[in-house]
Amino acid sequence: MTARKRTSSAVTNPENPPPATKEHKPTVASGEDFRLAPPKLGVIFVISSLLCSLYLYLLCFHYNVDDELKRPILINAGLSLVGFFVTLKLIPVAARYVLRRNMFGFDINKRGTPQGEVKVPESLGIVVGIVFLIVAIIFQFFNFTEDSLWLVEYNAALASICFMILLGFVDDVLDVPWRVKLLLPSFATLPLLMAYAGHTTIVIPKPLVSYVGLKILDLGRIYKLYMALLAVFCTNSINIHAGLNGLEIGQTVVIAAAILIHNVMQIGASVDSELRQAHAFSIYLTQPLMATSLAMLAFNWYPSAVFVGDTYTVFAGMTMAVVGILGHFSETLLIFFLPQVLNFLLSLPQLAGIVKCPRHRLPKFDPATGLLTGTKDGTLVNVYLRIFGRKSEKSLCIHLLVFQALACAFCFLLRHFLAGWYK
């Protein structure tokens, strides 16, 4: 499911004034002054505190992290904070340009209410993507522990993520067929696969060693195929677990928080320098992802003032796949993605065409009560509603984000208990 709330952009638009080479004065559609609703900073403050406090505590107080590693991490955090404010400032500006180009949608989950008539600017994920790239690029200047291998992986990561943002934005603008959309992440992963110089072995779980006959299995090229599929999965799965205000960014920041906590735990508990570098690498890309996403969430939280577009969902998915691959914790990442996996499995019958698949698989909105009711579509959103009853959109989104957080917590528990038994 793509940007679920986009309708046709059938608007007559007064002529764009020919931009002079000097001053550029945009006029807005219909001649009225366009004003974006103010960012919901209070909500963001609460969400940030909930998500980041444990991570910051672990990083700065609980674990004794080497100064050599801690300094770049804190510098990166500082740059990410700057990225947060830059994104916050840029989104209202970009929203005006985007609306002028008739890239907007109507909020389907508010149809029948006055809010449902508002033109919501689409594809603001491009702002997040560009600020993320600039922060990530600038950070290279501050990382003192750079070596050739690190630079290769970092630049390959940047190339992959940048290519994905490009393809996502092209999709948002031109609306490419869904089959092409499935294929695109594979191309974007190629720089990554080339640069991946890590092991392609997997450790056989202890209980299965007797059956398999090996302790370590070298998958070679199949591992690279697995990496490519992981990227395709991550980018698309966030896309289809969507449809509620704030759900796309919300699930991303919850998983990002889990990633950061996992990274810092591995750094703190490990003596293997290579492993610590790998997890630090993941932090260097996840902190900017978190910060820029939270800035957009300030505008996207219920009720959404902007929509994120495919640009954001594929960017977020690709970034998380990249850190999972280069940080060597892709199996852990998959368990963080448990709700997305669930949603994908539920969606399979409709995606495969066995069951009829409508344009939007959103729950049914009742303007009178303001509540959503689950339909028979195979999505986590609908199934959740059918199990737990009707909910308002905001409440349902919060429920699903808590569910996401519980899945991540479950992963940590699983790792803890299986640690000795599994590997």
- Calpha distance 336→329 (Å, rounded): 11
Q: Which stretch binds its own copies (CB under 8 A): 71-79, 148-156, 330-338, 401-409?
A: 148-156
CB 190 to its own copies: min, Å:
4
Angle at 161 between CA 190 and CA 326, to 5 degrees: 70
Q: Does 98 bind its own copies (CB under 8 A)?
A: yes
Q: Does 194 bind its own copies (CB under 8 A)?
A: yes
Q: Does 31 bind its own copies (CB under 8 A)?
A: no
Q: Does 187 bind its own copies (CB under 8 A)?
A: yes
Phi, psi angles (nearest 5°) of residue 279? -75, -30
Joined together, the tokens standing for residue 308 give 């994120």
Ranges of H-type helices in 199-246: 209-212, 221-240
CB 236 to its own copies: min, Å:
12
In Å, what is the CA distance from 297 to each residue of 65, 231, 325? Answer: 31, 23, 26
Q: Does 242 bind its own copies (CB under 8 A)?
A: no
- Calpha distance 249→290 (Å, rounded): 9
Q: Does 126 bind its own copies (CB under 8 A)?
A: yes
Given candidates 54, 203, 351, 383, which one binds its own copies under the rule CB under 8 A? 351
The sign of the torsion formed by the CA atoms of 214, 216, 220, 223 equals positive
Q: Does 354 bind its own copies (CB under 8 A)?
A: no
Given candidates 54, 69, 108, 140, which one binds its own copies under the rule CB under 8 A? 140
Q: Does 156 bind its own copies (CB under 8 A)?
A: yes
- Calpha distance 337→344 (Å, rounded): 10
Given candidates 56, 133, 275, 342, which one binds its own copies under the rule CB under 8 A? 133
Given candidates 56, 75, 81, 152, which one binds its own copies under the rule CB under 8 A? 152
Q: Does 13 bind its own copies (CB under 8 A)?
A: yes
Torsion of CA 223, 228, 232, 233, to 10 degrees: 10
Residue 21 identity: T
Q: Does 272 bind its own copies (CB under 8 A)?
A: no
364-366 and 216-218 beta bridge pairing: unpaired
How many Å separate Cα 362 from the centre of its chain? 20
Q: Which residues bind its own copies (CB under 8 A)?
A: 1-2, 7-16, 18-22, 24, 94, 97-98, 100-103, 126, 129-130, 133-134, 137-138, 140-141, 148-149, 151-152, 155-156, 158-159, 162-163, 165-167, 169-170, 173-178, 187, 190-191, 194-195, 351, 353, 357-359
